[in-house]
Amino acid sequence: MKDLFEQMIKAMGEDLSRPGLVDTPARAAKAYEFLTSGYRMTTEEVVNDAIFPTDSNDMVVVKDIELFSLCEHHMLPFIGKAHVGYIPNGQVIGLSKVARIVDKYARRLQIQEQLTTEIASTIQEVTGAKGVGVIIEAKHLCMMMRGVEKQNSSMKTSAMLGYFRNNLSTRNEFLSLLQ
């Protein structure tokens, strides 16, 4: 990506030999490698066997997971929070692993709707939960810095699987725990 950033900076009309920019292509390449590192993570290594038996049937909710992603339409950041809930079916997943699953799908080119769905189906797949709910609220820099320039708009998306989709009281319990 370093060569491509060089070309991009030149195309912007900048002088690549200027001291502040000399190392920028290499730095930007490294930054983007990190911001897209989700492509190179497997669910298996992210979860790392942190699945534990439980007798509980009570809802587990992990709130306010910070989220940084790149919109696939403009390659500009979108930034927000994910809230994840599930009802265990004999096993729970380590808390930090929920956040790592969020990172796996956030660190790539994304649209918020798909990110939400991918997190929900991965939690479902690795825990075998009776139901999963994911809500993401995010601000998109492509809307804030350009285009309609709406500084304060945020987008909310949700994905509901199993009990969360079929059972109104489960869904309401989830939503009330997020208040």
Closer residue to Zn ion (CB): 65 or 71: 71
- Give just the sign of the alpha carbon dihedral 163, 166, 169, 173: positive
Could you tell me the smallest distance in angstroms from the CB atom of residue 177 to Zn ion?
30
Does residue 140 have an active-site annotation? yes
- Give just the sign of the alpha carbon dihedral 129, 64, 110, 21: negative
Give the tokens for residue 126. Answer: 């690795």
CA dist., res. 58 & res. 53, Å (int):
13
Residues 128-147: x where in contact with Zn ion by CB under 5 A, - otherwise, as a string? --------------x-----
Nearest residue to Zn ion on Cβ basis: 142
Closer residue to Zn ion (CB): 92 or 106: 106
Of the candidates 73, 146, 150, 156, which one interacts with Zn ion according to CB under 5 A?
Answer: 73
Piece of 12-20, 26-34, 73-81, 117-125 that binds Zn ion (CB under 5 A): 73-81
Q: In what order do the strands lie in the sheet with 60-71?
A: 109-110, 60-71, 77-87, 131-140, 155-162
Does residue 83 have an active-site annotation? no
